[in-house]
Amino acid sequence: MAQYLLYRIGIWFSLNLPLGFAYWLASFVAMLQYMFCVKDRAAVVGNLSVILSTSDKAVLHKHAKGVFINFAKYLVDFFRFSVLNKKYIEKYIKIEGRENLFNAFKNKNGVIALTGHVGNWELSAVVTAYLGCSVNAVALSHKDRRVNDFFIRQRESKGIKVVPMGVAVKRCFIALKNNELIGLLGDRDFSGSGVAVEFLGKSVSIPKGPAMISLKSGAPIVPTFSIRQIDNTYKTIYLPPIYPVKTGNKEQDFLSLTKKCVSVIEDKIREYPEQWFMFREFWAEDANKVDIV
């Protein structure tokens, strides 16, 4: 109940205040969260110490504040999906590498858009739909039905088909067979059955989905990121496709493709550490267990 009410309040402010002021108010609330949510702050600082390879507290807390502020702005942008139209996209979002996306469709096996909790992954789906692609976004359901329904409405209002994780694999293969696009987050294993690989220099469980689905379907993987710029506009980037390679050694093919997926996400996290929204100790033993409230 409390989370749903907070979302409703956030939506009202985001839609009824000038965008600059909404960002300011969100940043102020983010700083309160930073000061009083000790567990979240400690998790972010701990994650940053791995990304930045430093134990300098001043540096870590400076970047941690940036994480909290950028996440608050991300929420404002998500709450404002109803006013996000063609005119807004063309004015405030720079699109790079769209040829990589379109070339990936030429094989007629569909496309897997791979991203992480970096920048604004929700916006990436909207931009991709704006470019004319049929987008299917795999999403974890929230425990609160009203919150879950709100998230689905926000996505569907922009033409995005939401695929619940419970039926994701079957729906993904159907979409790819129809030469559609599926969007997958590749930096956190919610299933508890991921594969252990090195991520930013430390071992952690990573989702099997992107590599497994790509190898079985033949769909190329297009790493996709929407990154906030200093002036609060965005740059949506489509990197060159990663094509599945089958050598006859299934295990080796899977690990090789998984590592390629991990590598591109790592690069973006290192480049934009203040835009990786991971509010739990990522490398802790229980960090990837499902805990959506």
pLDDT in tens, the chain (293 residues): 678 888 889 999 999 999 999 999 999 999 999 999 999 999 999 999 999 999 999 999 999 999 999 999 999 999 999 889 999 999 999 999 999 999 999 999 999 999 999 999 999 999 999 999 999 999 888 888 898 898 999 999 999 999 987 778 899 999 999 999 999 999 998 877 889 999 999 999 999 999 999 999 999 999 999 999 999 999 999 999 999 999 999 999 999 999 999 999 999 999 999 999 999 999 975 555 443 32
Res 21: pLDDT:
97
85/88 Cα distance (integer angstroms): 5
Which run of H or of E encompasses 112? Answer: strand 111-115
Task: Mark out the alpha helices in the chain (DSSP H runs).
Answer: 2-16, 19-36, 38-52, 57-79, 86-92, 98-104, 121-130, 145-156, 168-177, 209-217, 250-271
176/49 Cα distance (integer angstroms): 39
Res 216: pLDDT:
97
Structure tokens belonging to residue 244: 């599945």
Residue 246: left if φ>0, alpha if ψ -120 to 50, beta else—which one?
A: beta
Res 2: pLDDT:
76
Read off the DSSP letter of residue 288: T
Cβ burial 122-143 (10 Å sphere, 16+ → b, else e): bbbbbbbbbbebbbbbbbbbbe
Nearest to 27 by CA among 59, 68, 57, 88: 68
Q: 153: Cβ–Cβ under 8 A, 6 or more apart, which residues?
A: none
Res 292: pLDDT:
31
Res 207: pLDDT:
94
Verdict on whether the full-model pTM lies above 0.85: yes
> φ and ψ at 185, to 5 degrees?
-90, 130
Res 165: pLDDT:
79
Res 3: pLDDT:
80
Give SS3 for 125: helix
